[in-house]
Structure 1
Amino acid sequence: MTTPTTQQRRELMVAAAATLLIAEGPRAITHRRVADAAGIPAGSANYLFATRRELYAAAVTSAENVRVTAATRVAEALPRSERDAVATASLLLETWYAPQTDPNLVRVRLEPMLEAGADPELREIMAVSRPRLLAALETVLDRCGFGGVGETEMIAQMLDASLLYAVGAGEADPRLAAARQVARLLDLLKRVPRG
């Protein structure tokens, strides 16, 4: 068995960091945890990424690539069919937060995304993926019978805001509560004449 090159070890670390970030959130991104997940010696982690910040930036970059790929896959696999606003909003949530929309969605996915958005370096990383994520949302809207409603950026903002509000309001199922709120927006947008 050959020893992985420095570049291969770095790639293993980045992939492991992205997986941990998506599954567990930012606190999981430590040199030791990422090295263990990557299957490389802990000492290599500090050599490959001198600081936690450098490791975290690499994790965010890779996680956003995973997110875009998963969101695009969800959107493009969706069969064209008229759906009601709540079903469409649920699919928008699934797409926007791909690849994982479990019950810890706000704590593990949304809060770290908001934190990253507050950091100038990480905000730039996330801004690169936003157009492709918005395009995935547009595909979902189109395939659900809501094509042409426009305002995809506002819908994306509403997805985030509705989830935060639902958690703050103590909703038993924040995803369903958020989907209902986004559905109201979709219904309103569908009634507004375009042009």
Structure 2
Amino acid sequence: MATPKGERRRAAVVAAAARLVLSDGPAALTHRRVAEAAQVPLAATTYYFSGRDELLAAAGERIVDSWVVAAERVAKRAVAEATGVGEPARAYGGLVDDLITALLPPKVGEIRGHYEHLVGAGRDRTLARAYRAGRAQLDAATAKILAAHGVSAPPDLVLAVLDGAVVIALSEGRQVRAYARDTLLRALTALDPAR
């Protein structure tokens, strides 16, 4: 049975591993680097994680969990606001703002790193599996946001439009949030022109 100190140390190791994956990519993850980042002895990382793949999987789960928590926070607020009004359908502008808040990193400077990381994550099977496993939770939170705004678009399609818009904006030097917002508005209008 783990002690509270052991749980804190393990959590620190996982948090450090997640930060390293996000900042430097999965290839940079080693027990030694994680131990340094977590400020724990190297033996602590190997005690909790027998191999790099196990450590990388835990980091991937932590990253996905943080995305889901952010999306769930926005979904909860959107549902509460829709329920309080009695009418879930609202303008697309509010929906798009909620989606961008839920699905993009909060700081503009983190967006490029986030997408560079996502593209690189597919090269590592362990990390890709962790992300694929967490995708259902992210889609579920996105579906709640869409439903709160009276929209029944598939969440994976909405996320694909957002991801595509962000990649275009980053690759062409555009304002990321503005371009993503405009693209999502156009896509939602095309999906439901009568609204």
How many percent of aligned residue pairs carry the same amino acid? 30
Q: Deviation at 1:84? A: 3.3
Query: Aligned residue for 2:39?
Result: 39
Query: Aligned residue for 1:141?
Result: 146
Query: Aligned residue for 2:163?
Result: 160
Secondary structure of 2:108's aligned partner: coil
Q: Mind listing any 5+ residue stretches in structure 1 that lack a counterpart?
A: none
Secondary structure of 2:143's aligned partner: helix
Cα distance in 1 for partners of 2:136, 2:50 equals 31
Q: Deviation at 1:177? A: 0.8
Cα distance in 2 for partners of 1:26, 1:139 equals 31
Secondary structure of 1:63's aligned partner: helix
Query: Aligned residue for 1:84?
Result: 91
TM-score for the superposition, normalised by structure 1: 0.77
> Quick one: which of 85, 103, 114 aligns to 1:96?
103
Higher helix share: 2
Q: Mind listing any 5+ residue stretches in structure 2 that lack a counterpart?
A: 83-87
Secondary structure of 1:154's aligned partner: helix
Q: How does 1:1-195 map to 2 (within 5 A)?
A: 4-5=5-6, 9-21=9-21, 24=23, 26=25, 29-46=29-46, 48-49=48-49, 52-78=52-78, 79-80=81-82, 83-97=90-104, 100-144=105-149, 146-148=150-152, 150-171=153-174, 173-191=175-193
**Alpha-carbon distance change, 192 to 128 in structure 1, aligned in 2, over 3 angstroms:** farther
Amino acid at match of 1:18: A
Q: Deviation at 1:41? A: 2.2
Query: Aligned residue for 2:85?
Result: none
CA offset digits 1:114-143 (Å, max 9, x no partner): 322343332221112112211211221222
How many residues end up aligned between the 2 structures? 185
Cα distance in 1 for partners of 2:173, 2:184 equals 18
8 Å contact from structure 1 (residues 32, 42) kept in 2? yes
Cα distance in 2 for partners of 1:118, 1:129 equals 17
Amino acid at match of 1:117: G
Q: Deviation at 1:157? A: 0.6
Amino acid at match of 1:103: V
CA offset digits 1:127-178 (Å, max 9, x no partner): 121122112112212223x422x2322111111111000111111x211211
Range with bigger deviation, 129-138 or 104-113: 104-113
Q: Report the aligned-residue RMSD.
A: 3.0
Amino acid at match of 2:173: G
Q: Deviation at 1:35? A: 2.6
Amino acid at match of 2:158: I
Cα distance in 2 for partners of 1:159, 1:123 equals 20
TM-score for the superposition, normalised by structure 2: 0.77
